[in-house]
Structure 1
Amino acid sequence: MPIAVRVPNALQTATATLFGVVLAAGLVVMAAGCGSSELSFSEDPADYTDEVATLKQRLDEDPSDGKALRNLGRIYMQTGRENQAYDRLKRAYSHLPDDPETLFYLGMASESVGRENAALELFSQYDQVPESSRYRQLMEGRYEWLVRERAQKDIREMMTREADIADQQVSPRILAVLPLNYQGVSEEYEPLGRGLAEMLITDLANVSDLRVVERVRLQAILNELEFGQSEYVNQRSAPRVGRLLGAGRLAGGSYRVTQAEDIRMDMTVVELDSETSPDVPTQTGNLADLFALQKDLVLALIDALDVSLTSQERAAIAPVPTESLDAFLAFSNGLLEEDQGNFEAAVQHYRKATDIDPGFEAASQRAIKAESLSAAGGAPQKALSAAAAPTQAAARLLQQRLGHMGRGYLGINDLMDGDRRTPVEDVGGVPDTELPPPPNPPTRPQPR
């Protein structure tokens, strides 16, 4: 348990002021590390001379000191010595395979030396890391970012071989669902096309006879080709999009919301190896009935694709993610911002959706991913800076100053905010370790 502060009344005001200043400074630096390109650590090796010497001495005494290897690797990463960092962190991993900090920095080092697959494998273990650890969010964000980068890279590589794949057979079981094109007047409803497509993708993923193209890969090709909404699905663009995605079928369409708040949704299916397109009945009704209409639309689409549903699949499709149109609009706005790379703005929209409907699980999950991408996506230095943000260091500094005053200790748990609170073990008031032991991840090969 954290040890309470024992401060005489005469010092309470000074203590409170010191606490506010130091903690606020730490939070500001952390925010700068997560939300901007400014580094929260020095890149000058000279600034780490004493620490490096201490760590090397520890390793001379005990070459299996995993924490010393990890911390040395972290310093090498921060100062641009990637190959040395990778060597030390790989050795640290052999001693600390479950340590989140080691996993994160080894992933960053692997990425920096061109071992992208190894980095993805390491970052993918984020779900094995305790939620209380900041490395969980950073690992998830880096994983999601690399997946997006990989998808973009794959699409670009495929585009260089378009002539070779022009006659390639694609499976009709593979379906790409594109955002619906808005044809209304009010800009308020324009983002609905993203949300409706997301609902369709989620529902169709429950159908075993179909394989739905991942949304990340789909967005990568839309970004690369720079299509306008009207070009998502038409006879000219569909064959090219389908072959680049490996999809034999593309589903898209349009929707219109009238001033009377009626909605009309039209779906189009293009089959690459057929000269005919299946007919999908138009769905019309009041906007208040949007979610029931969307379920009718997905069932009509499945019928048009000539796919039979099992009772279990039909039951899996039936639930609606939310019954609030306002929450769904906020969610759709979040998807739009996320697709444009505006992750912080996306988080705000997703959080608004969950504020309106706390049970909107899809919005909550999206918010977590967008927060992770905001913290760790982009240039590697941004993720490293977020990891090094010294909020905890500021709290420890305050504890040390209180200790020097001879008035006791303020537990670190009391200084960290609730979402970032780190479990510690108090030994005489001094935190002994930063992280609780994580659950054992699945057995994975050691990076080579």
Structure 2
Amino acid sequence: MHTYHRLVVLVLCLAGWAVLAGCASGFYQQGKTHLEAEEYSEAVGAFLQALQEDPENSDAWRDLGIAYFRQGSLDKALRALEKAHALNSRDGRTVFYLGAVYEVQEDYDRAIEYYRQYIHLGRFSSMRKTLEARLELLTRKKIEAEIRAALAQEQYLNPDSIPENSLAVLYFRNLGENRDLDPLQKGLAELLIIDLSKVNDLRLVERIRLQELLDELRLGASGAVDPATAPRIGKLLGARRLVMGNFLNLDEKTLRIDAHLIGTPTGEVKPAGEVSGTLNDLFRLEKQMVFALVDEMGIRLTREEREAIQEIPTENLLAFMAYAEGLDREDRGLYDEARSFYQRAATLDPDFGLAKQHLESVQRMEESAAVDVHTLQRQMRRHRAPDRHHRRRTRLARARHHIHGGFLPGRDSRKPLQEETGASGFGRIPVDVEVILPTNKNGNR
């Protein structure tokens, strides 16, 4: 009898659990229906009821967060999505919406972090390229915010606390009358930044960070910085030293380039080198200037660093001039013109990898700039987000579909028994095999 009573209790408990689970599932499905119908208040109510029954339902927490997000209740959305993420960190929709909430809140560091997680989860997702473009846009917005914050806190910035190995390269100044060489103002700076960033002992400030600061200071068009104002630029950029240079066409064929190092804390200006040659020798002259700057800073290069610096992105001067024009147009937000110049550079030199990278980047930037985060999340609704658990369930479902009564597994699924294979390609019991069933104590089968 005791066994019978225990069995009854167990059955009743299981039945009660099934009823509760069914209620929770029912509330969750109601919430999904309301969410798809954009009835967000009703969706929130249904998801909250589902979570009362099953507080560990990560899908319910996620969809509750999505409903709050679409309502504009960002703090509530964040709490719900963080709970969902704690329960299931591999769910792509949760990760995406965490990034979206942080983007709307202008917390670009965390938005970038979660969008990168999504890209990692969904390496083959159709949303991947869209979010890669979004990352470029958010990186620029992050830099803009950091520059504005530095300007707001300028009086509290201590140049002596800036790392010793930090360096910024300012735009070069064209001291000559040949305005056709103006693209070299940014072009030479870009080359120096690329080469000096190959020195492990240096931490280079990105060129786009310099551009954002110059834009904020209303110097973006000219890029003009003199030795008197350079220390302020260095302090705002977080650079201990700055490279300031000039170039001058001495005649139609000869070009002279000079550079100086400026210390941010003291404003001290030190000549770093001067080189001259023909315009066709531009890339060789730039390498000489890089090595002169490194020597002036007292840095000993390894053989690998020296070889890396000597790499030339292109030997086609016209292609490089078109590339430098593209940089200027991109900085000014003229993406159509920038794309044309990058395309021209890539056409003039099909092996000019930098030009191709910027061409792809500016295309993505243009597309991403035209899309706000709410449009982005509507695109997400049309795609299945990456979910490792979903893929696992799909594989199991497919396996169940193929396993039938005639399937005979071996002891090790990697080494199946020898089986006859039917038309379906799956193993079946051979027809001439007699199947012996076990007998009981009375000899009956």
TM-score by length of 2: 0.65
- Which residue in the other structure is 2:233 paired with? 241
Q: Secondary structure at the match of 1:247?
A: coil
Q: Partners in 1 of 2:318 and 2:124 — Cα distance?
A: 32
Cα distance change of structure 1 residues 391 and 108 upon mapping to structure 2, 3 Å threshold: closer
Instruction: State how 1:384-423 maps to structure 2 within 5 Å.
Output: 384-386=374-376, 388=378
Whether the 8 Å CA contact 1:174–1:210 is kept in 2: the answer is: yes
Whether the 8 Å CA contact 2:258–2:274 is kept in 1: the answer is: yes
Whether the 8 Å CA contact 1:178–1:218 is kept in 2: the answer is: yes
Q: Secondary structure at the match of 2:255?
A: strand
Whether the 8 Å CA contact 2:78–2:98 is kept in 1: the answer is: yes
After superposition, the C-alpha distances for 1:97-119 in whole angstroms (9 at most, x for unaligned) are: 44555433320112324654422
Q: Partners in 1 of 2:66 and 2:251 — Cα distance?
A: 58
Cα distance change of structure 1 residues 362 and 131 upon mapping to structure 2, 3 Å threshold: farther
Q: Partners in 2 of 1:370 and 1:93 — Cα distance?
A: 33
- Which residue in the other structure is 1:264 paired with? 256
Shift of 1:293: 1.7
Q: Secondary structure at the match of 2:131?
A: helix
Instruction: Give the unaligned 5+ runs of structure 1.
Output: 1-44, 394-424, 426-448
After superposition, the C-alpha distances for 1:122-143 in whole angstroms (9 at most, x for unaligned) are: 1333662656544323333333
Shift of 1:336: 1.4
Of residues 274, 282, 303, the one that matches 1:282 is 274
1:314 aligns with 2:306: yes
Residue identity matched to 2:210: L
Instruction: State how 1:216-255 maps to structure 2 within 5 Å.
Output: 216-227=208-219, 232-255=224-247
1:158 aligns with 2:150: yes
Shift of 1:297: 1.6
Q: Partners in 1 of 2:306 and 2:337 — Cα distance?
A: 35
Q: Partners in 1 of 2:205 and 2:293 — Cα distance?
A: 16
Q: Secondary structure at the match of 2:167?
A: strand
Whether the 8 Å CA contact 2:136–2:365 is kept in 1: the answer is: yes
Cα distance change of structure 1 residues 263 and 84 upon mapping to structure 2, 3 Å threshold: same
Q: Partners in 2 of 1:50 and 1:114 — Cα distance?
A: 24
Q: Partners in 2 of 1:299 and 1:91 — Cα distance?
A: 53
Cα distance change of structure 1 residues 216 and 101 upon mapping to structure 2, 3 Å threshold: farther
Residue identity matched to 1:248: R
Larger Rg: 2
Cα distance change of structure 1 residues 104 and 333 upon mapping to structure 2, 3 Å threshold: farther
Q: Partners in 2 of 1:329 and 1:209 — Cα distance?
A: 30
- Which residue in the other structure is 1:305 paired with? 297
Residue identity matched to 2:298: D
Q: Partners in 1 of 2:354 and 2:165 — Cα distance?
A: 26
- Which residue in the other structure is 1:139 paired with? 131
Shift of 1:317: 0.5
Greater relative CO, 1 or 2 (CA 8 Å, sep 6+): 1
- Which residue in the other structure is 1:175 paired with? 167
- Which residue in the other structure is 1:119 paired with? 111
Whether the 8 Å CA contact 1:103–1:122 is kept in 2: the answer is: yes
1:335 aligns with 2:327: yes
1:326 aligns with 2:308: no
Cα distance change of structure 1 residues 53 and 149 upon mapping to structure 2, 3 Å threshold: closer
Choose 155-164 or 291-300, whichever is displaced more: 155-164
Shift of 1:334: 2.4
1:382 aligns with 2:375: no
Percentage of matched positions with identical amino acids = 33
After superposition, the C-alpha distances for 1:391-411 in whole angstroms (9 at most, x for unaligned) are: 979xxxxxxxxxxxxxxxxxx
Shift of 1:176: 0.9
- Which residue in the other structure is 2:386 paired with? none
After superposition, the C-alpha distances for 1:206-229 in whole angstroms (9 at most, x for unaligned) are: 112322222233222212222377
Whether the 8 Å CA contact 2:108–2:141 is kept in 1: the answer is: no
After superposition, the C-alpha distances for 1:339-381 in whole angstroms (9 at most, x for unaligned) are: 2234454344334333333322222333343333323347xx6
Shift of 1:76: 5.5
Shift of 1:313: 1.1
Whether the 8 Å CA contact 1:338–1:346 is kept in 2: the answer is: yes
After superposition, the C-alpha distances for 1:44-85 in whole angstroms (9 at most, x for unaligned) are: x9963499869968x959987767876775566456454454
Instruction: State how 1:98-117 maps to structure 2 within 5 Å.
Output: 98=90, 100-113=92-105, 115-117=107-109
Q: Secondary structure at the match of 1:284?
A: strand
Choose 231-240 or 165-174, whichever is displaced more: 165-174
Cα distance change of structure 1 residues 251 and 115 upon mapping to structure 2, 3 Å threshold: closer
Shift of 1:240: 1.1
Of residues 347, 350, 362, the one that matches 1:355 is 347
Of residues 276, 284, 288, the one that matches 1:292 is 284
CA-atom RMSD in angstroms: 4.2
1:48 aligns with 2:77: no
Cα distance change of structure 1 residues 54 and 227 upon mapping to structure 2, 3 Å threshold: closer
Cα distance change of structure 1 residues 276 and 70 upon mapping to structure 2, 3 Å threshold: closer
- Which residue in the other structure is 2:186 paired with? 194
Of residues 358, 361, 385, the one that matches 1:366 is 358
After superposition, the C-alpha distances for 1:263-307 in whole angstroms (9 at most, x for unaligned) are: 332212212355753323322222222212211121122222232
Instruction: Give the unaligned 5+ runs of structure 2.
Output: 1-34, 384-393, 395-445
Q: Partners in 2 of 1:95 and 1:66 — Cα distance?
A: 6
Of residues 203, 211, 219, the one that matches 2:195 is 203
Q: Partners in 2 of 1:126 and 1:282 — Cα distance?
A: 49
Whether the 8 Å CA contact 2:314–2:349 is kept in 1: the answer is: yes
Q: Partners in 2 of 1:253 and 1:323 — Cα distance?
A: 22
Q: Partners in 1 of 2:294 and 2:99 — Cα distance?
A: 41
Q: Partners in 1 of 2:82 and 2:302 — Cα distance?
A: 48
TM-score by length of 1: 0.64
Whether the 8 Å CA contact 2:40–2:70 is kept in 1: the answer is: no
Shift of 1:166: 5.8
Residue identity matched to 1:333: E
Residue identity matched to 1:388: R
